Structure 1
Amino acid sequence: MIKLPFDLDEWSPGGTSRPVRFAKPYSGDNYGHHFPLIDGAEVAVVFTDGHPDRPVIIGAMHDSLHPDLVNNLNHTRNIVRTAAQNELRMEDKEGIEHIHLTTPHQTSELNLGHMVDGDRKERGRGAELRTDGHLAARGPQGMLLTTETQNGASGHQLDMTGAKEQLQRAIDRMESLTGAIQAAESTVAELRKQKALYAEALDGLKRAAILMSAPAGIGLTSGEHLQVNADQNLIATAGGNFDVGVMHNFTVAAARQIALFAQAQGMRLVAAKQDVIMQARTGAMALSASKDLHLTSVDGAIVAASRGAVTLTSGGAYIKIDGGNIELGCPGDITLKCGNFHWTGPGNLSVPLSAMPIGPCKECLLDAHRGVEAMTEVA
């Protein structure tokens, strides 16, 4: 509706005229260019073929009460701003070019290039996507997050040369350790799964994977908890050290096996306070060394106890304790060096043995059940 300046009558809202067509730079069937005019806006009107009953709005104009967004103070800016303060701003001044797309709802913004605040003070350069609400990034075919250089936006969208080199080095490191681990008859990592992850998912994002790469490092931190989960394998490799530090408990649990292997140097297991407990609850425990093996108690005693026999042997000589009897044997001499030697009656000492409770392995049972189902399907 429009109100012509020579119309001095009083009209109810919407009664000043019939609906008037609004000329636009682009239009069509269910598409076009539309910015609604707000009540009170000054417009320019022409009349088709000079007929006063065929008015057309050809544009809206600023005036002293409704000043233009762009003036001599910001004449290098191109701005589209709605009445609700949704805004697209493009700065053309050389050296501080930027694009600013924003909505006041939860201060959600996309900033590209040179960033400034409301007072036009610099607050950063590059790109920023921010909001006071939730933020989600979704790419069902895969996602690449990288800080690798791609000057002038040249190169392929999924150029991941640096990341691929690092992933290949990780595989090479594990392969170099595999031979030594096998020679030591220890458990070898599932290198095949690591290679499959790289070749079938990460390389070129062939599957719905996320690849993160940063030549100078990646930091993850949380004020509360940080959880890492994988339904299959969780793989970690390092060309240098792998350091873990916690201020409370450090717990490792495996439904099947835990294997530790050190190739070039040794292992240290130290408890600064309280006890160290090691148990093999359903199997044997073997301690062996190519050189000396020391058992030392500084301020306490050493107790060796068994429901079965206890045997000490060296060079064919032995001491065997079994069933309440002690048997000594040797191919050479027995020498006793002592101040006194006392024969008394029989004696007995009972040492309590540790209980070995065994809980059910739920995941092992589920794996076995899946195996039975798989064999049933094949049959």
Structure 2
Amino acid sequence: MRQRDLKFTFVVGEGNLAFDVVEFELEEALCEPFRLSLKLASDKNAIDFKQVLDQPGTFTLWQDGRPARYVHGIVSHFTQGSSGFRRTRYELLLEPQLARLELCCNWRIFQEKSVPEILQALLKEHRVPDYEQRIYHEHLPREYCVQAGDSDHYLHDRLAFEEGLVYYFRFDEHRHTLVCSDRLYVQERIAGGPVLFSAQPEGDNPQPVLHSFRYSENVRTARQTQRDYSFKRPTYDQEHHLAGEALEHQGSSYERYDYPGRYKRSGAGRPFSESRLRGHRRDARVASVSGDDPRLIPGHAFALEGHPRADFNAWWRPVRVVHRGTQYAGQEEESADAPLGVSYDLRAELVPEDVEWRPAPLPRPRIDGPQIATVVGPAGEEIHCDEWGRVKVQFPWDREGRHDEFSTCWIRVAQNWAGADWGHMAIPRIGQEVIVDYLDGDCDQPIVTGRTYRATNRPPYALPDHKILSTIKSKEYKGSRANELRIDDTTAQISAALMSDHGASALHLGYLTHPRPEGGKPRGEGFELRTDEHGAVRAAKGLLLSTEEQLRAGAGHLDRGVVVQVLEAALELARELGDYAGEHQGVGHDAAPQQTLQEAVRDLGHGANDESGKSNGGKPAIALSGPAGIAAATPASLTLAAGEHVDSVARQNQQVTAGQKVVINAGSDIGLFAQGGELRQITHQGPMLLQAQKNDIRLEAEQSVEVSASQQHVLVTAKEHITLMCGGAY
């Protein structure tokens, strides 16, 4: 176009401060803040920097006396240069408000927000009023999204690019609008008709044209495959495959496989993969042009006309444009005949309008290592978790968290074991300090990997005083009591204890002492199972209580040789004396129940791993064995009951002593038989009654029967008669 029809102007603020434009270079691109570098002149040689820096400014490109293009922004850089006789040189950089986000970085957490919502909040925070979102697709909320020390601008771009959003700027005289959308095809087209192509740059063209057009195709990634993992659906690989468009001129086997895909929901996997593939193929078909039509703006499509190749006369969309201009009139110093004239040209990169161009994806910030956090939850609560045992934490860097259940999302907790309905589970409790690591270094995937003590969470025992104690000690929920597994490795005094404060219940093993923190006074050696409440010992297949020596567990745990030997001897004695008594008119002795019980004890361990292949074991019998004796004592009463038989056998003596009465009652027979000794029944002071209430009494002796009364008389009475026999006579 005729360069003499052009003019460049620049004003700061509300137009109160105007400069002459000497040179300018405007760099603008899709998904990038623009940069307008200006070389200026002014008759003012002492401009207050406060009037310029961080103030709005407007650059105008005039054509035929009318504004053909505005560039509005905020002044980021201002330099005063040399001064001539009449003018002073200045340099200035104009950028959008979006560029200010690069000046701020932060650590913070966004929860349950979609990327469009996060971007809106971010720009509102920076007071970017002119922001327009054009959203055509669903964008799922992100459960947990962290800004991990990166700049606000990097966060803005990273999230936008991951989500498949593009942005560009729209200008008018007093503002610039940031436009963000998830569809490029439906965006603006430039006004004023098609852009013309002319291969003859020489001469003074009457209208703007493109005089250079170079079209290129590049071999790029043809397929994108991504996978990711979600613990809620561990068997589903969330794999997505996408093939690129317009692959007619290249091979289709060039695949990029990325893991992790940075998505946790399958619904987000496809658009994530699609955006990444488009980013890799962003320059698969591209045109490089030059000319002087200032209407070319990134994101705004136009129709090309006049190219000798017909298929190039199509709709194109600029993705990057660099404008340059020089205005010699602005260099005037003193000479009235100084050269006049304006030059302007542009260089641009174009893609076909129907290409859904996307920028290259940006890497997520990687966390350098584990971080410290504190477990948090609702007020008044001590344990706060979900169905997976996940917890919420407060990071020291989080300025927005309120140390409550809203500080973070649910965060997984690594356990020592984690199986299918089995494993280890110890949920970090509110107030505990935890170590948080990040899966794949991803700031959005925290996981609790450990716990540490600190000043407000002291160890169970004072250290290093009790460094020999190893313990697992819990705390009563909303109480002060505890359960504990404690191991004491004191030299020559090792012990272990499993304890509960409820009922002071405990199993102590080894070298028994009072608690070490209380002095550790000896209490004995071996084991103690005790409680202030109730106790029970149950064994469905038999129980052996024995004091038989078994050094270092050298035999089976039901080794019962001594008790079986004693029971066999007792059975033999009972049979021998019982049979003998029966032969001499004694009451018959039934040894079968005793034998059954003896066999049950003998077979007690049959079928166990050390007595496998043996049958008849597993009867619920109790065997008591004490090689040095068994004593049962109580200051109250003792009851011994049997549903069937009670067999009491002693190889030597059985002695029954009562301070008052000995009462023997039998529903049938009572048999007393002494094989080789005496049978004496004596009352020392009271009378003796020998009575058969329904039958006879017989007193028989092989030799003599003596009846005597040492003090008074012998009285024999009968209702009918008394018969005395001697030598066959009566």
Alignment TM-score, normalising by the size of structure 1: 0.77
Going from structure 1 to structure 2, the CA distance change for 1:16 and 1:173 (only over 3 Å counts) comes to same
Matching residue of 1:327: none
Q: 2:447 matched to 1:56?
A: yes
Contact 1:24/1:33 (<8 A) preserved: yes
Q: Say which of 487, 490, 499 aligns to 1:90.
A: 487
Residues 134-145 of structure 1: pairs in structure 2 closer than 5 A: 134-145=534-545
**CA contact under 8 A between 1:48 and 1:54: conserved in structure 2?**
yes
Structure 1 distance, partners of 2:729, 2:439, is 123
1:42-100 CA-partner distances (Å, limit 9, x unpaired): 22223334443332222221123323346322222221111332111122334222211
Match of 1:297 in 2: 709
Equivalent-residue separation in structure 2 for 1:183 and 1:27 (angstroms):
71
**Equivalent position to 2:576, from 176, 179, 184:** 176
**Deviation of residue 15 (structure 1)?**
2.1
Distance 1:249 1:179 in 2: 31
Moved more, 60-69 or 235-244: 60-69
DSSP-derived class of the 2:572 partner: helix
1:221 corresponds in structure 2 to 633
Partner amino acid, structure 1, of 2:546: T
Per-residue CA deviations over 1:186-223 (Å, capped at 9, x if unaligned) read 12321233223212x22122321111110111111223
Matches of 1:214 and 1:55 in 2, distance apart?
60
1:202 corresponds in structure 2 to 601
Residue 24 (structure 1) shift: 2.9
Partner of 1:114: 511
> Is the radius of gyration larger for structure 1 or structure 2?
2
* Aligned pairs, number: 317
Query: Which residue of 1 is the match for residue 549 of structure 2?
Result: 149
Which TM-score applies when normalising by structure 2? Answer: 0.41
- Secondary structure of 1:170 counterpart: helix
CA distance in 1, matches of 2:469, 2:427: 22
CA contact (8 A) 2:432 2:451 kept: yes
Q: 1:310-369: CA deviations, max 9, x gaps? A: 122334553xxxxxxxxxxxxxxxxxxxxxxxxxxxxxxxxxxxxxxxxxxxxxxxxxxx
SS in 1 for 2:688: coil
In the other structure, the counterpart of 1:30 is 421
The aligned residue for residue 19 of structure 1 is 410
Give the Cα–Cα distance (whole angstroms) in 2 for the partners of residues 28 and 180 of structure 1. 66
Q: Which residue number in structure 1 is paired with residue 502 of structure 2? A: 105
Report if aligned partners of 1:158, 1:204 keep a CA contact under 8 Å in 2.
Answer: no
Q: Of 462, 471, 495, which residue of structure 2 is paired with 1:79? A: 471
Root-mean-square deviation (CA, aligned residues, Å) is 2.1
Q: Superposed, which structure 2 residues align to 1:243-322 within 5 Å?
A: 243-315=655-727, 317-318=729-730
Q: Go from structure 1 to structure 2 and tell me whether the alpha carbon gap of 1:191 and 1:10 turns closer, same or farther (over 3 Å shift).
A: closer
Residues 39 and 161 of structure 1, relative CA distance in 2, 3 Å threshold:
same
Matched residues in 2 for 1:49 and 1:175: separation? 80
The answer to which of 77-86 and 145-154 deviates more is 77-86
Structure 1 residues 51 and 131: CA distance shift in structure 2, 3 A: same
Change (3 A) 1:29 1:208: closer
- Percent identity, please: 26
List runs of 5+ in structure 1 lacking aligned partners: 319-379
Please tell me whether the aligned partners of residues 575 and 589 of structure 2 are also in contact (alpha carbons under 8 angstroms): no
Other structure's SS at 1:127 match? strand
Q: C-alpha distance in 2, partners of 1:156/1:53?
A: 55
Cα distance, 1:153 vs structure 2: 0.6
**Partner Cα distance (1:313, 1:54) in 2:** 113
The answer (yes or no) to whether the contact 1:145–1:212 under 8 Å persists in 2 is: yes
Per-residue deviation, 1:115? 1.7
Distance in 1 (CA, whole Å) between partners of 2:417 and 2:649 is 57
Measure the CA separation in 1 of the matches of 2:680 and 2:718. 27
SS at match of 2:643: coil
The alignment status of 1:161 with 2:561, answered yes or no, reads yes
Structure with greater strand share of residues: 2
What amino acid maps onto 1:228 in structure 2? L
Maintained 8 Å contact 1:99/1:113: yes
2:374 aligned residue: none
Q: Secondary structure of the residue that 1:304 maps to in structure 2?
A: coil
Q: Is the 8 A contact 1:174 1:191 kept in 2?
A: yes
The one of 178, 191, 194 equivalent to 2:591 is 191
How far, CA to CA, are the matches of 1:264 and 1:80 in structure 2? 65
User: In structure 2, do the counterparts of structure 1 residues 150 and 16 end up closer, same or farther at CA, with 3 Å as the change threshold?
Assistant: same
Structure-2 change in CA distance of 1:228 and 1:60 (3 Å): same
> 2:579·2:589 contact (CA, 8 Å) conserved in 1?
no
Matches of 1:19 and 1:292 in 2, distance apart?
A: 100
CA distance in 1, matches of 2:546, 2:493: 25
| Cα distance in 2 for residues equivalent to 1:316 and 1:15 | 114
Give ranges in structure 2 of 5+ residues lacking alignment. Answer: 1-391, 477-481, 605-616
